Amino acid sequence: MKFIDEAKIFVTGGNGGNGCVSFRREKYVPRGGPNGGNGGDGGSVVLKADGGMATLLDLQYKRHFRAERGVHGKGKDMHGRRGPNLLVRVPPGTLIRDASSGDLLADLVKPGDEYIAARGGRGGRGNLAYVSSRNRAPRQFEEGKPGEERELKLELKLLADVGLIGRPNAGKSTLISRISAARPKIADYPFTTLTPQLGVVKAAGFQSFTVADIPGLIEGAHEGHGMGIRFLKHIERTSLFVHLIDLSDPENPDPWESYRKIDEELNAYSKQFKKKKRWIAFTKIELMPAAKVKKAVALFAKKKLKTWAISAVTGVGLPEFVEALGKEVFKLKEHES
């Protein structure tokens, strides 16, 4: 499935129904009075977060949404029916902005969250509503009001508890495929992951948690270089970053320098990232001498960074790593609540 995380849509509320001009006409009733009913209100366009959706792809093919108008009023005091609301489903984590000003209108975080994007117009009054002591046979009526109309920009930010970050080929895709049911495309070339991947991890004794695999970052990413910059917004909601470092990468033999470069890119993109808790995971340790792995772990421990040495291929260190992630996510959620 193609991953789409941005879309523009046009939404229009339904017009209100017109009021009716009508008079009671019955045989043998000499004094018939006004009995024109009111028009019904137009339906509204409502955006709702649906847990079964993971992308804005559907909104690439249909961009115009108009709710039904209200029914016109009728004689015999019959009011028009209200137009039904039009429900537009979006993934949880969708930001709704005004396309012109960029102002944030709503943030649909949880499944079931709703936002009225365009209200329907009010129904017009029939002549019955104009009756007064001075005007006993009014012929006035009111037309229904037009519904709201606006252009919206939708942005999707994945709702993940843990964000996996690192350079291309750091092993993020392989790791997420081993600890969750996500199956990203994996191959031995840079930028294998062209779209974010979201996986659900089940840790023994803890509630399941979600992990997002963000496409690889390179130096200059915050200026638009590489693939990862476009998807950094998907880890803005995460509570914990896991920075994966490939100790076998010949282009980056110094693990601390590799970490520092990515750290600078994150901070340049958003100052909020500085507040995020970060763990380090050395990957592909099956390819490295144990002494070099031990030296790297000791170096980062001196920097007071939580550090793990794992192999997604052989499984070394994975059970302990996943259990620790589960504990940390549970602790962070308790703190937030």
Domains of the chain: 1-156 (2.70.210.12), 162-336 (3.40.50.300)
Q: What is the chain's mean pLDDT, rounded?
A: 84
Letter string b/e over residues 304-319, b meaning 16 or more CB atoms within 10 A of that residue's CB? eeebbbbbbeeeebbe
pLDDT at 277 over 90: no
pLDDT at 3 over 70: no
* Helix ranges, 196-317 (H): 255-269, 290-302
The pTM of this model reads: 0.72
Do residues 154 and 6 make contact, with C-beta atoms less than 8 angstroms apart? yes
3-state secondary structure (DSSP) of residue 114:
strand
d(CA 175, CA 308): 13
Average pLDDT over residues 12-36: 87
Instruction: Categorize the per-residue pLDDT at 114 as very low, low, confident or very high, splitting at 50, 70 and 90.
Output: very high
CA distances from residue 91 to 13, 62, 88, 113 in whole angstroms, order as listed: 22, 16, 10, 10
